[in-house]
Amino acid sequence: MKTSIVASHAIHIDIPVRQCQMLFTPAGEELWVDGWQPRYMHPPNGSTTQGMVFTTGSGDETTVWFLSEFSREPYRARYARVTPASRWGFVEVACKPTTDNATQVLITYELQALNPKGEEVLKDFEPAPFASMIEDWKRCIDEQIDTLRGASIR
């Protein structure tokens, strides 16, 4: 079994880079991820800012997230995350404009299993399942793209 994994996959979104970056923040993902309900610890209003802390999930899948880096040029965010019952690691989202109205988004997960349960979860981050998951994100965004283009995200 693997105890650690690094997985990356890029997608293209037909939204300008500044707005596209915000779709991959906790508040932005609330607009297009079914069931995504972050609980904001700091700041309590969920405003995206370096140093923010929030949680997701419940039970053994409760995950604590910390936004360790957030920049608007380059358009990059790096989250530290820990699911104490199984794994910890980092998630990085790097956005690069491809045209004035389109963006390449590179999503990278670096995860470390904390126990056998965590090792099982890492199977979802092998190349094929990970690429499928990220392509599903693109599909969800594309299905709502007209609404998302006009969204104001904190």
Walk me through the domains of the chain, giving residue ranges and CATH numbers. 4-149 (3.30.530.20)
pLDDT at 147: 86
Backbone angles phi, psi at 23, to 5 degrees: -65, -20
pLDDT, residue 52, reads 97
Which one is predicted more confidently, 147 or 10? 10
Structural tokens at position 7: 């997985």
Say if CB 144 and CB 32 are below 8 A apart.
Answer: yes
Q: What band does 134 get if pLDDT is binned at 50, 70 and 90?
A: very high
pLDDT of residue 151: 76
Per-residue confidence at 107, pLDDT binned at 50, 70, 90?
Answer: very high
Cβ distance 133 to 114 under 8 Å?
Answer: no
pLDDT band at 149 (very low <50, low <70, confident <90, very high): confident
- Number of other CB atoms surrounding residue 5 within 10 Å: 21
pLDDT beyond 90 at 148:
no
Residue with tokens 């963006």: 103
